[in-house]
Amino acid sequence: MWAGAITRSSSFRYGFAFALSLLGLIGASVLLSLDETPFYALLIGCVAVSIWYGGLGPGLVTMTSCWAAGYIVFLGEPGEIDIGTRDERLRWGLSLLVALGVVWVAALLHSGRTRATTAVTAAQETIRDVAALQDLAAASSAALTQTDVANALIERIPTLLGARGGAVGLVDGNELVIVDPRTGIGLSHQPGARIPLSARAPIAQAAATGEPIVVHDRATFERLYPDGIALTDYARARAPGRRRPQRAVPPPRRRESSLARRRRGS
């Protein structure tokens, strides 16, 4: 409801609220001198304009200042400070309730708009993720070799996870062999590298345990997985500080062919 208020400074918005309150009180005083009946509708309009221009906070300031001053100016005899008659107090209180209703409705509209914006953003992100997963599934289905599969994964999975790069490895005995995806984009480990499953690196531990591993900060990465820094060029070259979470998912284990099993049995 007050999207424009986001771009305005707080001092300007609250200054506008006070100025609007003063103008509203002056206008209501002029009308009072003509009709001898307080014109609270003008003050209610000032509250609505203040909310539209400055937001909920300035609207509350306008309402508080107008009705506090109005209690002194509009109740009782002119030039005297008293609580006024019952009808004057009732008129003042009812108009205050209307102003509070305006503020409440504005708050509900703003809350609904915020939730709607959040829902639209989440839906757009979900649509993008689903489209990316469909693209990944299509590329994986068309892959004929391990290199093709690695290429499809390296080009798409890091973007989905919000990572700067990745690597695909296959378990070969007690080692993890990094597959060559034939692309130099976003590689976190050198193709053909053989990493022991006992290495203290996220990719090796994920392969050894079969569980995904997520590291949220640099300090934890250095403490738990020192081999991961030694094996990763960009992690070794980066100065300590905040970094994106490290994610490692367990790779598929390399299946041993029947010919190799017969040779090993003989």
Residues 38 and 82 reside in one and the same domain: yes
Dihedral sign (CA 89, 27, 45, 67):
negative
Residues 150 and 247 reside in one and the same domain: yes
Residues 158 and 241 reside in one and the same domain: yes
pLDDT digits (tens, 9 = 90+) for 204-236: 888 888 888 888 888 888 888 888 777 776 555
Picking from 120, 153, 175, the residue at the C-terminal end of a domain is 120
Only one residue has tokens 């693209």, namely: 135
131 in a domain, yes or no? no
Residues 189 and 84 reside in one and the same domain: no
Give the mean pLDDT of 141-160. Answer: 78
- Rounded CA separation 73/40 (Å): 12
Asked whether 221 and 228 are in contact (CB, 8 A), the reply is yes
235 in a domain, yes or no? yes
Residues 94 and 163 reside in one and the same domain: no
Long-range contacts: 110-118, Cβ < 8 Å, 24+? Answer: 110/1, 110/2, 110/56, 113/1
As given in the structure block, the two tokens for residue 97 are 């309730």
208 in a domain, yes or no? yes
188 in a domain, yes or no? yes
Has residue 56 got a pLDDT over 70? yes
Whole-model pTM: value is: 0.48
Residues 156 and 75 reside in one and the same domain: no
Number of independent structural domains in the chain: 2
